[in-house]
Amino acid sequence: MSRIMPLRATLVFIAAFLFGCGRPDSDSIRLTGWIASPIEENLTRTFIDTFEQRHPGLPVRYEPITANYMDKLLLMLATGTAPDVVMIEAFWIPLLVEYDVLLPLDGFLVRDPGFFPDDFEPMLLDAFRSNGALYGLPKDYSTLALYFNPAMFDEAGLAEPPRTWEEFAEYARRLTRDTDGDGSVDQYGYSHAEDLEYSLPFVWQNRGEYLDAQGRAAFGEPAFAEALGFLQRMKTDGIAVMPSDVGAAWNMDAFGRRRVAMAISGLWAANFLNETHAGTPYRTALLPAGKKAASVAFVAGYAVPKRTRNPDRAWQLLRYLTGREGGRIWVKSDVGLPARRSIALESKIERDPLKRVFLQSLDHARIWQFRVNQRVLDETQSALQAIFLTGAAVQPTLDDLKRRVERGGRFHADVRGHEAQNRSGPPR
């Protein structure tokens, strides 16, 4: 054995090791997405099979991300390793446009007369638009609505869901009961979740804002604090609970366990209730309104990363995913409502007592989308936890939050030189 042999062998080994890191399977279209439910995953697989049958020569490789979707996708986008078509929540569009990692789709739309972009709910399509260019297409959406337990309403002598904040609090009081007579309350009126999106409808209904039209903090204003104060008071009055107070994982889990009579959630919660708490009766209603009606709309869709190797093939898959045929498949999943009006009509959403509520809420809903550093949202989350979990005073907590995030220009720490763009900020 000569002395140089081990070195050469080492180099061969390293080369072989690094070679293994290369990209396999370069001719298929890579698709990624999160998995909202097993039903959705099965549908995606059926969907890919159908697409491949209709498009011979365009194999699809599905690479779902099962956890921490955005953490992983952001890294992939930054390093140019993202799949050709990526599922994306409209929330992230302003940030990703600013990072310049998405492909504008307007050219494809112009050259593709059979796609009918006018069929989309305009508000949902606009959620993927930035500075006039389109960076994604909506797949489905859900607004927030009120879930209530009709059996508990009957027992409390209530016929209709609450329509105003006053009724909401009053009903919650009547629904808070000691059902087994052991002297302690075991059924509460309402379960609130401390995340911003569940307080926002109340803020907007109170004509408050999280961010103003210029993208600056508006959560120090009285209208914001008033809305949080109303919700916090329901908790201190003992007629509302946080999910953890009753040993539930999240607010709809508390609802499913029959510990609360009302909770706010999206259409996805219906799937959860049917699968996990099949015995709990539920109905849905529009959110109780304050000074005006308001709700939040969460929009999911697909986009194409700018650094995709074959934009035309990616477009073929994207147009199918968000086209009419694709929409007909998605509508079966029940994780969201169809983004296309024609599909909504076809599937008779208007006549579905459960789903039509989410459709009607869209009239007064605003898109869940802020152009703000994630750090600010996390700081907001901590402040909301302080308010709802520890009973911290609302106004001082919000003032402190404002001070923390505005210090040192950290509010938009990664958006130097860009005008902030906030869909949910300025009233539409």
Partner 1 sequence: MSEAMRRKTGPGRPADMPERHREAWAAFFFLSPGLVVLSLFVFGPLIFIFVVAFFDWNLFRPEQHFLGVANFVELTGDELFFAALRNTTVYVLGVVPAQTLLALLLALAVNQNIPARGFFRAAFYIPAITSSVVTSIIFLWIYSKPGLLNYVLSQFGIVGPDWIGSPKYALGAIMALNVWSTSGYFMVAFLAGLQSIPASLYEAARIDGASPWARFRHITVPGLKPTLFFVVTLGIIGSFQVFDQIYMMSAGGPVNATTTLSYFIYNSAFRYFRFGYAAAAAVILFAIILFVTRVQRKIVRPEAP
**Interaction between residue 78 and partner 1 (CB under 8 A):** yes
Which alpha helices (H) appear in 148-215, and where do they start and end? Answer: 150-155, 165-175, 196-205
Going from the C-alpha of 174 to that of each of 68, 155, 162, 284, 287, the distances in angstroms are: 40, 10, 12, 19, 18
Say if CB 302 and CB 88 are below 8 A apart. Answer: yes
State the nearest-atom distance from the C-beta of 394 to partner 1, in Å: 14
- Distance of closest approach, residue 114 Cβ to partner 1, in angstroms: 34
Q: Does 12 bind partner 1 (CB under 8 A)?
A: no
CB 405 → partner 1: shortest distance, Å? 10
Query: Nearest approach, Cβ of 245 to partner 1 (angstroms)?
Result: 7
For residue 345, what is the enclosing H or E element? helix 341-346
Taking alpha carbons only, the member of 66, 100, 64 closest to residue 85 is 64
Residue placing its CB nearer to partner 1 in the complex, 56 or 417: 417
Count of residues of this chain found to bind partner 1 when the rule CB under 8 A is applied: 38
| Minimum gap (Å) between residue 101 Cβ and partner 1 | 6
Binding of partner 1 by 17 (CB under 8 A):
yes
Q: What is the closest distance, in whole angstroms, from the C-beta atom of residue 83 to partner 1 in the complex?
A: 17
**How is residue 232 written in tokens?**
């916090």
- Using CA atoms, how far residue 267 sits from 94, 145, 193, 313, 336, in Å, is 25, 8, 16, 32, 6
For position 14 contacting partner 1 by CB under 8 A, the verdict is yes
Is 79 one of the binding residues for partner 1 (CB under 8 A)?
yes
Alpha carbon of 305 to those of 84, 88, 330: distances in Å?
A: 6, 11, 22
Q: What is the DSSP letter of 138?
A: E
CB 190 within 8 A of CB 239: yes
Q: Which of 48, 60, 73, 74 binds partner 1 (CB under 8 A)?
A: 74
Which x/- pattern over 94-123 shows residues binding partner 1 (rule: CB under 8 A)? -----xxx----------------------
CA-closest candidate to residue 44, choices 31, 58, 57: 31
Instruction: Name the segment binding partner 1 (CB under 8 A); options: 28-36, 69-77, 147-155, 171-179.
Output: 69-77
When the beta carbons of 174 and 404 are compared against partner 1, the nearer one is 404
Angstrom distance (rounded) from CA 291 to CA 340: 31
Phi-psi sector, 134: left (phi>0), alpha (psi -120 to 50), beta: beta
Dist. CA 301–CA 321, nearest whole Å? 9
- Closest distance between partner 1 and the C-beta of residue 240, in Å? 16
Q: 251, 265 in Cβ contact below 8 A?
A: yes
Contact characters 352-391, partner 1, x per CB under 8 A: ---------------------xxx--xx-xx--xx--xx-
- Please state the closest distance from residue 131 (CB atom) to partner 1, in A: 17
Query: In terms of CB distance, is 18 or 159 closer to partner 1?
Result: 18
Please identify, among the stretches 9-17, 325-333, 340-348, 359-367, the one whose residues bind partner 1 according to the rule CB under 8 A.
9-17
Considering the complex, state which of residue 3 and residue 428 has its C-beta at the smaller distance from partner 1: 3
Alpha-carbon distance 392 to 299, whole Å? 32
Positions touching partner 1 (CB under 8 A) are 3, 6-7, 9-10, 13-14, 17, 71, 74-75, 77-79, 99-101, 242, 244-247, 373-375, 378-379, 381-382, 385-386, 389-390, 404, 407-408, 413-414
